[in-house]
């Protein structure tokens, strides 16, 4: 067994120092030792998007990254969105537009939408589709997700939301 490595990383604004096997995937570190189980594993081969998190502000698939790659990184997961029992405006928009059913893929969608609206507060439908095209939802048929993202953009413009725990270093 290869030697374990000590790594330091920040997740949702909180610093962590952990020892991991080189083969441990990033999502297994998050869900296992860090107990952040909101990030879900849907395919484990980088297609479905359920495991999407933010890596230094960019949406990545944590199932096809190794934990050791996150040494020094600033990560944000779905747990970083809501604060003190208050849903983030994106979450609120998904609730109001019924943008989820089983909710398993939802954390991944939320993180990609968060990234999209950070860099582009006024996305066109085509731009929204380009972002959502990297995610599979088996329940909703996407129509309500589309509406959710449009509403989320409006909500974010209308209010200054609680700042992200982290995500951009």
Partner 1 sequence: MAVEIPKSLADLPTSTPRFIGKAVNRVEDPQLLTGRAEFIDNVTLSGMLHCAILRSPHAHARIKSIDVREAEKLPGVVAVVTGEDATRWSQRITTVPEKWGTYCLAADKVRYVGEPVAAVAASSRYVAEDALELINVDYEALPAVVNATTAAAPDSPLIFEEHGSNVMLQRVFTWGDVDAAFAAADQVFTEKFRWNRLGANPLETFGVISQWDTTDGNLTCHGSFQSQYHMGLGTAAALGLPSNKVRMISQPHGGSFGGKGGMRGTVITALLSRKADGRPVKWIEDRMEYLAGGAGQSWDRHYEASLACKKDGTVLGFRVKLLDDLGATAEGFGAVSAAKPLTAFTGCYAIPVAQYDLTIVATNKLPGSPYRGMGPPPHNFVLEQMMDIAARGLGMDPAQIRRKNYIPPEAFPYTIASGNEYDSGNYEAALDTVLKMANYQQLRAEQAQARQQGRLLGIGLVNTIEPGVFDWNAYAIVGMQQTGVPEGATVGIDILGKIVAKIGFSLEGQGQYTVITQVLADYFGVELEDVRVVYQDSLSAPPHFGPGGSRLGVAITGAVLGAAERVKEKLVTVAARLLQSDPQNVELRDGKVGIKGVPQASMPIAQVAGAMLARSDLLPPGMDPNPEATYVWTAPGRTPADEQGRAKSYLTAANACHLVLVEVDAETGQVQILKYYIADDCGTRLNPANVEGMTQGGVAQGVGAALLEEYVYNEDGQLLTSTFMDYLLPTINEVPMTEKVALCTPSPFTPLGAKGVGEGAMHTTPAAIMCAINDALVPLGVRALEVPASPHRLWKLLQGKAKS
| Minimum separation from the CB atom of position 151 to partner 1 (A) | 13
Contact letters for partner 1, residues 143-162 (x by CB under 8 A)? xxxx----------------
79 Ramachandran zone, left/alpha/beta (phi>0; psi -120 to 50): alpha
| Minimum separation from the CB atom of position 41 to partner 1 (A) | 7
Which residue, among 74, 79, 164, has the nearest Cα to 118 in the 3D structure? 164
What does each C-alpha distance from 107 to 6, 73, 85 come to in angstroms?
Answer: 28, 20, 17
Instruction: Give the total of residues touching partner 1 (CB under 8 A).
Output: 53
Q: Which of 16, 44, 155, 161 binds partner 1 (CB under 8 A)?
A: 44
> What's the number of CA atoms in the CB half-sphere (13 Å) around residue 155?
21
Q: Binding of partner 1 at residue 64 (CB under 8 A)?
A: no
Q: Which of 16, 56, 69, 142 binds partner 1 (CB under 8 A)?
A: 142
Site for partner 1 in 68-107 (CB under 8 A): 77-79, 81-82, 87, 91, 94-96, 98, 100-107
Which residue, among 4, 11, 3, has the nearest Cα to 27 in the 3D structure? 11
CA distance 67 to 119: 26
| Contacting positions for partner 1 (CB under 8 A) | 21, 23-24, 31, 36-45, 47-48, 50, 77-79, 81-82, 87, 91, 94-96, 98, 100-107, 110, 129, 132-146
């Amino acid at each position: 067994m290869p030697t374990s490595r000590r790594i330091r990383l920040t997740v949702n604004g909180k610093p962590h120092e952990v020892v991991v096997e080189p083969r441990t995937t990033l999502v297994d570190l998050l869900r296992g030792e860090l107990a952040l189980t909101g990030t879900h594993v849907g395919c484990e081969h980088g297609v479905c998007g359920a495991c999407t998190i933010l890596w230094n502000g960019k949406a990545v698939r944590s199932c096809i990254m190794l934990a050791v790659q996150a040494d020094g990184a600033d990560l944000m997961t779905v747990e970083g969105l809501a604060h003190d029992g208050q849903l983030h405006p994106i979450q609120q928009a998904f609730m109001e537009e019924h943008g989820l059913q089983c909710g398993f893929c939802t954390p991944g969608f939320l993180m990609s939408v968060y990234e999209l609206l950070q860099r582009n507060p006024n996305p066109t439908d085509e731009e929204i589709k380009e972002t959502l095209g990297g995610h599979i939802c088996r329940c909703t048929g996407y129509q309500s997700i589309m509406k959710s993202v449009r509403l989320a953009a409006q909500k974010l413009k209308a209010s200054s939301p609680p700042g992200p725990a982290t995500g951009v270093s």
